Amino acid sequence: MPDLHFLPDDRIVGVRAGTTILKAAIDAGLPHAHVCGGHARCSTCRVVIVDGLDRCGARNAKEQSIAARLNCGPEIRLACQTDVSGDVTLRRLVLDPEDVELTDLRRSSGRRRVGEEKHVAVLFADIRGFTAFAETHLAYDVIHILRRLFRDMARVVDEHGGVVTTFMGDGFMALFGAGDAGDAAPDQAVHAGVRILEVADAAEPWLDDLVGQRLEINVGIHYGDAVVGTIRDLSSNDVVTAIGDTVNMASRIEAANKATGTRLLISSETLAAVREPVTLGRSFRVALPGKLGEHELFEVVAGSQSGPPPSRATLPSSGRGVSKAVLAAAAVALIGALLVLMLVAIVR
């Protein structure tokens, strides 16, 4: 049976061949950070092999990918992906007791999570031209307006099953699907987005009275994978947050509203996952900052939860705001008119 010599603890643990270093450490009761739960999605379990690198199994594809991304030398290994066939001496690299304690939260239940990869819908809402607005109005007025607008919009998010994770001065980020929404997350996010714009429209007379100006709200939504976890604030409240490309993408989509002259844009991934009816406007192929290639974005102009439930979202036929439903209605009307003309001709 091979021996694993753990440093700096100076503990020797016997392991069966093929056992990963992480499993050996956990089985032996050694504190070993493993934030992603051993799925090769973080780097907290990494170790440096001091002796016996040739007795470690070769890197698998997942470990190779992380090693390339972090520019790790061959002696740096992910403990959760590395098994051994003989004696090995290694040193854990993430030794901070707080890191290990936070990792151990993974075992706790409920909402207090270290991190979990989920399919979520991320919504960004932002006030366009806020900097200029803030510069030309009294700070207390600006704060008052933000508090009222964002309170009402956060309420909308909550009513649609989402959670506002971050307020960023002139905008906020909301997450749908962080709990158990499952496939409903895209519908929840899109209909929340529509409702947020309605809230903004309804606030116009109030804003006009208060500061003689309206504020334009833009919304962007993307649906994809993100690591969802909780961060504990100083009041010991757990705040849900999400990290990943899906979050960045949603932020870029929201910003694209400025160039496209729209108010609510969603990605093609979001549209593909939406099951309840929404009315689409224009579609665009745009390059997004920091993202390769062009991305297809769709303008949502209305939700139609009260209408008859079609099998999927209404797609624009030409990217110019004409829906399939409208074309179908026109075709039915045309056929009806032709039949009437034929009957008149026969009667004569």
**Alpha-carbon distance 15 to 326, whole Å?**
68
Burial class (CB in 10 A: 0-12, 13-18, 19+), 297: buried
CA atoms of 57 and 76, how far apart (whole Å): 13
Binding residue for ligand FES, selected from 7, 26, 30, 41, defined by CB under 6 A: 41
Report, in Å, the least distance between residue 87 CB and ligand FES.
22
Alpha-helix residue ranges (DSSP H) falling in the chain: 21-27, 61-70, 97-104, 130-135, 139-159, 185-202, 204-211, 245-260, 268-273, 324-347
- Residue of 80, 174, 219, 228 interacting with ligand FES (CB under 6 A): 80
Instruction: Confirm or reject binding of residue 38 to ligand FES (CB under 6 A).
Output: yes
3-state secondary structure of 40: coil
Candidates 24, 25, 35, 227; binder of ligand FES (CB under 6 A) is 35
Integer Cα distance of 282 and 332 in angstroms: 24
Which of 2, 23, 34, 200 lies at the binding interface for ligand FES (CB under 6 A)? Answer: 34
In angstroms, the first-to-last Cα distance of the chain is 101
Specify the residue, 23 or 222, whose C-beta has the smaller distance to ligand FES: 23
Among 4, 13, 15, 42, binds ligand FES (CB under 6 A): 42
- CA-CA distance, 77 to 180, in Å (whole number)? 34
Distance CA 192, CA 154 (A): 10
Tell me if 90 contacts ligand FES by CB under 6 A: no
Which C-beta is closer to ligand FES: that of 13 or that of 36?
36
Question: What is the C-alpha separation between 238 and 132, in angstroms, rounded?
Answer: 34
Alpha carbon distance 114, 132 (integer Å)? 39
Smallest distance from ligand FES to CB 35, Å? 6
On whether the CB atoms of residues 189 and 160 are closer than 8 A, the answer is yes
- Our CB check for ligand FES shows the closer of 45 and 280 to be 45
In the complex, minimum distance from the CB of residue 120 to ligand FES, in angstroms, rounded to a whole number = 20
173 belongs to the binding site for ligand FES (CB under 6 A): no
163 contacts ligand FES (rule: CB under 6 A) = no
DSSP E strands in 25-134: the ranges are 46-51, 76-78, 88-92, 116-128
Q: How far is the CB of 36 from ligand FES (least distance, A)?
A: 4
Binding residue for ligand FES (CB under 6 A) from 4, 13, 15, 36? 36
> Which residue of 24, 78, 114, 265 would you call a contact of ligand FES, by CB under 6 A?
78
Residue 40 interacts with ligand FES (CB under 6 A)?
Answer: yes
- The minimum distance between CB 65 and ligand FES, in angstroms, equals 11
Taking the complex as a whole, the smallest distance from the CB of residue 225 to ligand FES amounts, in Å, to 16
DSSP secondary-structure letter at 183? G
Residues binding ligand FES: what is the number (CB under 6 A)?
11
Q: Which of residues 45-74 bind ligand FES (CB under 6 A)?
A: 45
Query: Which residues of the chain form contacts with ligand FES (CB under 6 A)?
Result: 34-36, 38, 40-42, 44-45, 78, 80
